[in-house]
Amino acid sequence: MTTKRVVADLIVTGCGQLVTLAKSDGTPRVRSALKDLAIIADGALAVAGGRLISVGPRDVVLATTGTSAQTNHVDVGGAVVMPGLVDCHTHTVFADYRLDEYEWRVAGTPYAEIAARGGGIAKSVGHVRAASEAELLSRTRQRVHSAIRHGTTTIEIKSGYGLSLEHELKQLRVVRTLRDELPITVVATFLGAHAIPKEMAADREGYVQAVVHDMIPRVAAEGLAEFNDVFCEVGAFSREETERILRSGQRAGLKARIHADELTDTGGAELAASLGAVSADHLKKTNDNGIDRMAKAGVFGVLLPGTSFGLPSLELAPARKMVDAGMRLAIATDFNPGSSTSESMPMMTSIACSHMRLSPAEALSMATYNPAFVLGREGDVGSLEVGKRADFLVLDCRDYREVANHFGINPVARVFVAGREWVAA
């Protein structure tokens, strides 16, 4: 005899594949564990107070879950049900896409010339500085709503198009407003060190000082970010500057992340390992030593397939080598107005499978369970396990592999956040 305990607000049945991603030891998935999605056939789940109270085979869930007249029953008719997607690297607070630059780029214009024409990050900084906080909020809200429709229920958003105390704070306040108004989990990252702003070109040390002495303390004091990120790259910030900025953030309580080895191997991966950074992201040019160091240090590698897709070269991070080395890995959109113009996490899994040669299961692990660790939300989201938030997706298919295989479309039919169905206002 089973005692019926908590009364459920919601019971979902008919999950042809209930992709739970449960893992008994609660550690990140690496190597072969990436392929184990802990799928339950004919599964069900029960929710109370926004949290999962039961996840398992239909009969077990029904037998052990209490119901009342208020319990909402949803039968999804054999569809795939999976955790909400966790997008752990985005630049969603921007004003406009850089469409002129897109045309130049596909025509083969070298990046140096695009930069000389005022393109690149500098262009987006101009747009963001010119926009009011209300305008930025309105545009960012639309984009986050679209991300939710595509299954994202946890999203990280960086600043980095302000590049001054005033405009970096403006971007981070937009993130805070969305965090407060939306039911999904929104996590903020300060990226004041995204580029040296034009007006400081002759005084880069002055800008680094401003980041360290003005911006980081203010961001930390106002609680506007949990993470501190630096674009460590030739033409952006040196390894030494990156280290100073990240250490100063760590002292202020901001966890470190790095845009590393995207265009050149600057030793960003090794730096991430030596600093105890949470992640190093991009990693297209990372060498074997960097991979080894990150694997040993347990630093997450965040792969950004959309950035590769957006450039004709389609240069990709060596994902298979990283999996084989036992690195902790996640996939994110890098959604931004220039190099990765997509908020769709399902699209990222498609690129990751077709071109980084990940399996659909590996890609889903890297899009749900693992990035929850990157954001420090592993106790809360990323898998369907009792006690976690009831963030889940009902897909328009009966085999999870379609998420990656059926590309360029939105496979998400319904989105539930903390047990309530998401319907945009």
Judged by the rule CB under 8 A, the positions of this chain that interact with a second copy are 97, 99, 102-103, 106-108, 146, 150, 306, 309-312, 314, 341-344, 346-348, 350, 353-355, 357-360, 399, 401-402, 404-410
* Measured CA distances, 94 to 29, 107, 203, 208 (Å): 33, 24, 26, 23
| Shortest Å distance, C-beta 13 to a second copy | 23
Q: Report the amino acid identity of residue 133.
A: E
Question: How many other C-beta atoms are found inside a 10 Å radius of the C-beta of residue 118?
Answer: 12
| Shortest Å distance, C-beta 231 to a second copy | 22
CB closer to a second copy out of 323 and 390: 323
CB closer to a second copy out of 306 and 382: 306
| Shortest Å distance, C-beta 112 to a second copy | 18
Q: Which residues pair with 408 in a beta bridge?
A: none
Residue found under tokens 């100073």: 244
- Classify residue 111 as left (phi > 0), alpha (psi -120 to 50) or beta: alpha
Angle at 373 between CA 337 and CA 175, to 5 degrees: 40
Question: How many other C-beta atoms are found inside a 10 Å radius of the C-beta of residue 6?
Answer: 15
Q: What is the C-alpha R_g of the chain?
A: 21
CB closer to a second copy out of 287 and 405: 405
Please give the structure tokens belonging to residue 268.
Answer: 């960003």
CB closer to a second copy out of 135 and 203: 135
CB closer to a second copy out of 48 and 356: 356
According to DSSP, the β-strands at 39-48 and 10-19 are antiparallel
CB closer to a second copy out of 57 and 102: 102
| Shortest Å distance, C-beta 22 to a second copy | 22
* Measured CA distances, 388 to 106, 269, 383 (Å): 44, 32, 8
CB closer to a second copy out of 228 and 344: 344
| Shortest Å distance, C-beta 390 to a second copy | 26
| Shortest Å distance, C-beta 87 to a second copy | 13
| Shortest Å distance, C-beta 265 to a second copy | 23
| Shortest Å distance, C-beta 357 to a second copy | 5
Cα(149)–Cα(118) distance, integer angstroms: 34
| Shortest Å distance, C-beta 99 to a second copy | 4
CB closer to a second copy out of 133 and 402: 402
DSSP 209: H
Cα(361)–Cα(423) distance, integer angstroms: 28
CB closer to a second copy out of 266 and 350: 350
* Measured CA distances, 65 to 5, 30, 386 (Å): 6, 33, 12
Listed in sequence order, the residues at least 6 apart from 185 whose beta carbon sits closer than 8 Å to its beta carbon are 153, 154, 155, 179, 375, 377, 380, 381, 389, 391
Cα(227)–Cα(219) distance, integer angstroms: 10
CB closer to a second copy out of 51 and 355: 355
| Shortest Å distance, C-beta 222 to a second copy | 32
